[in-house]
Chains A and B, each alone.
Chain A
Amino acid sequence: MAEQTERAYQYQPGVFQNTKLAAKKKSSGALKRWYCDVGLGFKTPKEAIEGTYIDKKCPFTSGTISIRGRILTGVVVSTKMKRTIVIRREYLHYIPKYNRYEKRHKNLSAHLSPAFIGVEAGDQVTVGQCRPISKTVRFNVLKVQKKIVKGAGAKQFTKF
């Protein structure tokens, strides 16, 4: 019941919770959970399958979000939003006159499913494009690679 924090009852729409058979097997205590494979070789996290969170924008436990289009990677800049993160994607832009490059970056907001716990600033993250989730969010986090602890901070330039 820890996930019922909102004013409306949180549940997975595809799962019917009150079948009579379920009443007989109440000993297990756990509700049936729906999860899916997002495709493209991405492994669905264990927490998505075993957890109890309800997130209608999670690509693994919601039937309404499909991952299609672009798959991008970036470095996490901030995790202060509720269930969404800001990613920084760096790239080099070529100036033909001087035959040289300049550093540029773009920020991107991506939805972070509760299946991924312990995501901090500096982690590398793979995001996949999905339908618009909010005003600025069109991507959903698919994979997290934790930061290797070194001296360098996240804001320093790292090319992918």
Chain B
Amino acid sequence: MTGASLNATSHHHQQKHGSTSTNVAGMKNRMKQSNAVGISRDSRHKRNATGAKRAHYRKKRKFELGRQSANTKIGAKRIHSVRVRGGNTKFRALRLDAGNFAWGSEHTTRKCRVISVKYNSTNNELVRTNTLVKGCIVEIDATPFRQWFESHYALPLGRRGKKPHDGHEEGLNKPRSNHVTRKVNERKEGFKVDQALDDQFVTGRVLARVSSRPGQSGRCDGYILEGKELEFYSRKIRSKGK
């Protein structure tokens, strides 16, 4: 069996971040070990551009190795660290529940809960199984952004019918110094939120796109969809729903 060096990768699975060691996980270790040998990223197994079959003249090399995909799901955070080439570490997120999402046009970022995967341009299966990957469209919990917005602009966001909830009023009407009040009023002038975005805030759920790679960095970060992009993906999601 080749690969004393390959075995090293599986040993690190034993040190898990934020999850308990169980027998099931131990079994997974052994499976991961054998599968890591199986996946390679070489092109020697492929045919030439001319169509000729390439002769198999050497074994798989360690630097050509590939690993099992993370298939990050939504749930209580579970991240494994992997030792990779050069001694560096990758954080394989197996389950994530929150990420740092950015509201580009407002230039703010907030940590938000990820609720579900809505659309994946590559594979519908990944939507069905709620798998987080880079570039997939997710629904995130909008409350951190609403709270920021209301304390920054002192304008209600996503409020239909005047039903004041206890927590929300704080952001709108919190006691502000004269200096701060002046700044807030300056910001308010001529400012309007995009209608499509506002509608999303009413439901408390906002569409966002994941821009980090959860299986590599262990994080699910992204940005809120706005404008043309939001239009594009909303249409896709709606037509899927039919």
From known contacts A4-B232, A6-B121, infer whether A18 and B105 are also in contact, taking CB-CB under 8 Å: yes
Picked from B135, B227, B233, the residue with its CB within 8 Å of the CB of A17 is B227
CB <8 Å contact, A18 and B227: yes
B104 touching A16 by the CB < 8 A rule? Answer: yes
* Segment of A7-15, A89-97, A115-123, A148-156 in the binding face: A7-15
Q: Which residues of B contact A70 (CB under 8 A)?
A: none
B236 and A7 form a contact (CB under 8 A): yes
Give Cα A133–Cα B193 distance, bound, in whole angstroms. Answer: 41
A32 CB to closest chain B CB, in angstroms?
12
Bitwise, B71-100 to A at CB < 8 A (1) or not (0) is 000000000000000000000000000000
**Given A18-B105, A19-B105, A135-B49, CB of A8 within 8 Å of CB of B135:** yes
Task: Select from chain A the residue with minimum beta-carbon distance to B226.
Answer: A18
* Cα distance, A23 to B194, chains bound together (Å): 9
B residues in contact with A18, CB < 8 Å: 104-105, 226-227, 229
Q: Cβ of B229: which chain A residues have Cβ within 8 Å of it?
A: 9, 11, 17-18
Give residues of chain B (222-237) contacting chain A, Cβ–Cβ below 8 Å: 226-229, 232-233, 236
Q: Is the interface of A mostly helix, strand, loop or mixed?
A: loop
CA distance A26 to B128 in the complex (A): 37
Residues of chain A with a CB closer than 8 A to B121's CB:
6-8
Question: Using Cβ atoms and an 8 Å threshold, which residues of chain B touch A17?
Answer: 226-229
Q: Which residue of B lies closest to A21 (CB)?
A: B105
Q: Which of A1-50 contact B (CB under 8 A)?
A: 1, 4, 6-9, 11, 16-20, 23, 31
Tell me the chain A residues, 121-150 only, with Cβ under 8 Å from chain B. Answer: 135-136
The residue from A4, A11, A20, A31 contacting B105, defined by CB atoms under 8 A apart: A20
A18 vs B49: C-alpha distance in the bound complex, in angstroms?
A: 43
16 A-B contact pairs sorted by A residue (CB < 8 Å)? A4-B232, A6-B121, A7-B122, A7-B236, A8-B121, A8-B135, A9-B232, A16-B104, A17-B227, A17-B229, A18-B104, A18-B226, A18-B227, A18-B229, A23-B105, A109-B49
Known: A18-B105, A18-B227. 8 other contacts (CB 8 A): A4-B232, A7-B121, A8-B135, A9-B229, A9-B232, A11-B229, A19-B105, A135-B49
